[in-house]
Structure 1
C-alpha cells in the first residue's frame, strides 16, 4: 500500500485542533477538503480518529495513543525536508502552545506576544492554564513551552532557569501590620493567612520555616492563583506571600502594600521547559529566545528591589 505523507500533517492538525474546521484553518485548506482527508485517514487506519460527542469532536483511544508519535514523526519529516539556511520569520506560519503560570502570563505574556507579532506576523500564540495535576503535555506535543516554578523531571524534557525572584508579604493598605517597622516573624505568624496553591494546599515551605522557629500560623484559606489571593487580601486583614517580581504590577494596581518577608528562604526560580524533540527546531529556538528575554526583563528587579521596605502603592 502506498502511503501519503500529507496525511501525517492532517492527522497532527486534527488531533491538535480537535475539529475539522480548526484543522482546515491551520493547514489553509477548505473544510470539505479536510473532511475528505479525514475520511482517507479513517480508511487507511481503520479507526474513526475523531468522533462527535455533542457539539465537539473527541479523539478515539487509538488517536490518543499515537498523538505523540505522530507529532514527533511530522517534525522529523519537516527537519529532513526543510531547506537549509536562516529561518524566514516573515513567512513563518505556526501555532505555539504555551503553558505558563498565570502570574508569568500577566508579567511577561504581553511583551512576548508583541515581539512575536512584530517579527513573525503569521505565528499564533496560545496560552493555556496550568493543570492542578502534573501533565505530560510536553511529551505528547500538546504544549510547546512551559514556564513555572517546578521543572519537569522527565529525562527527555529540557529545562533551564531563566529568572529568580523572592517572596514578599502582601497586605491591604491600612492593615495593622502594614506600618509596623519592622515586620517581625512573631507578628507575621500571629496574623491570619491565605496561601496560593493549585491543589488547594493550606501549608507550604513557609510553615516549615516557621516550625523550625517554634512558631505556627493560621491559614484560613487557599487560592488557586496569585491574582485570587491578592483579591482576598484586598478586602480583609489576611496576609499572603507571593513572588515579588511576578506580582509587582498587580500589587501596585490593587493599591496593596508589599512588606519584606521576615524569614530567610531561597529565591524562587522560574523554569522554562520544552521537549528535546524541539532542540534543533529553528522556529522553536526562536520562540525560546523571545520567551527568555520576556521573562528575564519582566522578572528583573528595579534598582530598589533589594530594599523592599519601600512600600509598593
Structure 2
C-alpha cells in the first residue's frame, strides 16, 4: 500500500531503524536479511531526501530529520495497531494475549498478587509481563512498547488518559528494641535520629527526601540508603534508626520482623497510585478488561 508515493510497509522498517540505530539489529527485529533492510534504508533516504542515519565513529546516529520523525512514526504505527489490528471483542477465557505492564517494586508487591488472583478466576490463558519502570517509562508507553503504566499520579504525562487506583499513606518504622523512641515519635526525635532511605534509579533519586526538604527546608540525617523498597524495615532492626515507608509494605514486614509502626510526626500527603494507557488504546476491548481488573483489585486490597 502506498500513500503519497510512500510504501507504508517502509514505515515499519523506518521505526525499527530509528529505534535500533543499527541496520543488523533492525533487520533481526523485523526478521529480514541485512541486505533487505539496507535496501529499505536506501528507499527511505530517497523518499525523505535525508540520510536519516549517519556514521559517527563506530555508531550510527539519527539526523535531525530522523529525530523529528521518530515519535510521529511510532504514533502512526500505534494508531494502526489500536484501530485495525485490535480484535473487536475480548473474551478472557479464550484469549492468549499477554499484557505488558510497567510497574514499580511497590506495585508488584502490593497490587499485582490481587490482580493475578482475580484474573485467575476468569482466565488461565491471558498472560502478564511485569516490566520494570525505567527513568522515563512514559516513553515506552508512547511507543506502544507497553500497554499500561502504574505509578503515582503526580508523575504521569498529561498526554494520555489516567485513572486513580488507590491511595497509600506513610508510616515510620523503628526496631521494637529502640529505647530512644517510645510509643510516639516527636518531630525533634525524627530529626535527631539517623534514617534509612530509599533512593531509586541510577541517579539515586530520593523522592521523599525532595518533598521533605521542599516543605521543611531541612534535611534528615540519612545514614543508610538502598534501592530496594522492601529492605528499609529490616535495616532498622538492632539500631535506633528510623525508616519512613509505605504503610502497606510496613504492615507486611511487621508480620515477620521485630519492629514497631508509628505515625509520622509530620503531615505527609498520601500517594495516589494511578494507571495510564495510550490514548489510541482507549477503546481496545482487552484494555478495558484490564483496566476494570485493576480497579477491582485496588478495591480488594487492604487499606
Q: Give me the whole-angstrom Cα distance separating, in 1, the residues matched to 2:176 and 2:19.
A: 46
The residue correspondences of 1:1-313 to structure 2 (distance < 5 A) are: 2=2, 5=8, 8=11, 23=29, 31=31, 38=37, 41-46=40-45, 66-81=69-84, 85-89=88-92, 90-96=94-100, 98-113=101-116, 115=118, 119=123, 121=125, 123-131=127-135, 136-152=139-155, 154-177=157-180, 180-198=182-200, 199-201=204-206, 203-206=209-212, 217-234=220-237, 236-298=239-301, 300-301=302-303
Partner-residue secondary structure (3-state), 2:230: helix
The answer to whether the 8 Å contact 1:16/1:142 transfers is no
Q: Give me the whole-angstrom Cα distance separating, in 1, the residues matched to 2:143 and 2:86.
A: 26
Partner-residue secondary structure (3-state), 1:182: coil
Q: Give me the whole-angstrom Cα distance separating, in 2, the residues matched to 1:194 and 1:70.
A: 45
Name stretches of at least 5 consecutive residues in structure 1 with no aligned partner.
Answer: 25-30, 302-313
The answer to whether the 8 Å contact 1:167/1:244 transfers is yes
Q: How much has 1:104 moved relative to structure 2?
A: 1.2
The answer to whether the 8 Å contact 1:161/1:271 transfers is yes
The answer to whether the 8 Å contact 1:168/1:259 transfers is yes
CA pair 65-120 structure 1, distance change in 2 beyond 3 A:
farther
Q: Give me the whole-angstrom Cα distance separating, in 1, the residues matched to 2:119 and 2:38.
A: 35
The answer to whether the 8 Å contact 1:203/1:219 transfers is no
Partner-residue secondary structure (3-state), 1:45: helix
CA pair 216-67 structure 1, distance change in 2 beyond 3 A:
closer
TM-score under structure 1 length normalisation: 0.68
CA pair 229-114 structure 1, distance change in 2 beyond 3 A:
same
Q: How much has 1:116 moved relative to structure 2?
A: 5.2
Name stretches of at least 5 consecutive residues in structure 2 with no aligned partner.
Answer: 46-50
Q: Give me the whole-angstrom Cα distance separating, in 1, the residues matched to 2:210 and 2:118.
A: 36
Question: How large is the RMSD of aligned CA atoms in angstroms?
Answer: 4.2
Q: Give me the whole-angstrom Cα distance separating, in 1, the residues matched to 2:154 and 2:216.
A: 26
CA pair 227-37 structure 1, distance change in 2 beyond 3 A:
farther
Partner-residue secondary structure (3-state), 1:280: coil
The answer to whether the 8 Å contact 1:151/1:159 transfers is no
The answer to whether the 8 Å contact 2:173/2:243 transfers is yes
Q: Give me the whole-angstrom Cα distance separating, in 2, the residues matched to 1:222 and 1:210.
A: 21
Which 10-residue stretch deviates more, 149-158 or 165-174?
Answer: 149-158
CA pair 221-160 structure 1, distance change in 2 beyond 3 A:
same
CA pair 283-8 structure 1, distance change in 2 beyond 3 A:
farther
Q: How much has 1:169 moved relative to structure 2?
A: 0.5
The answer to whether the 8 Å contact 1:7/1:37 transfers is no
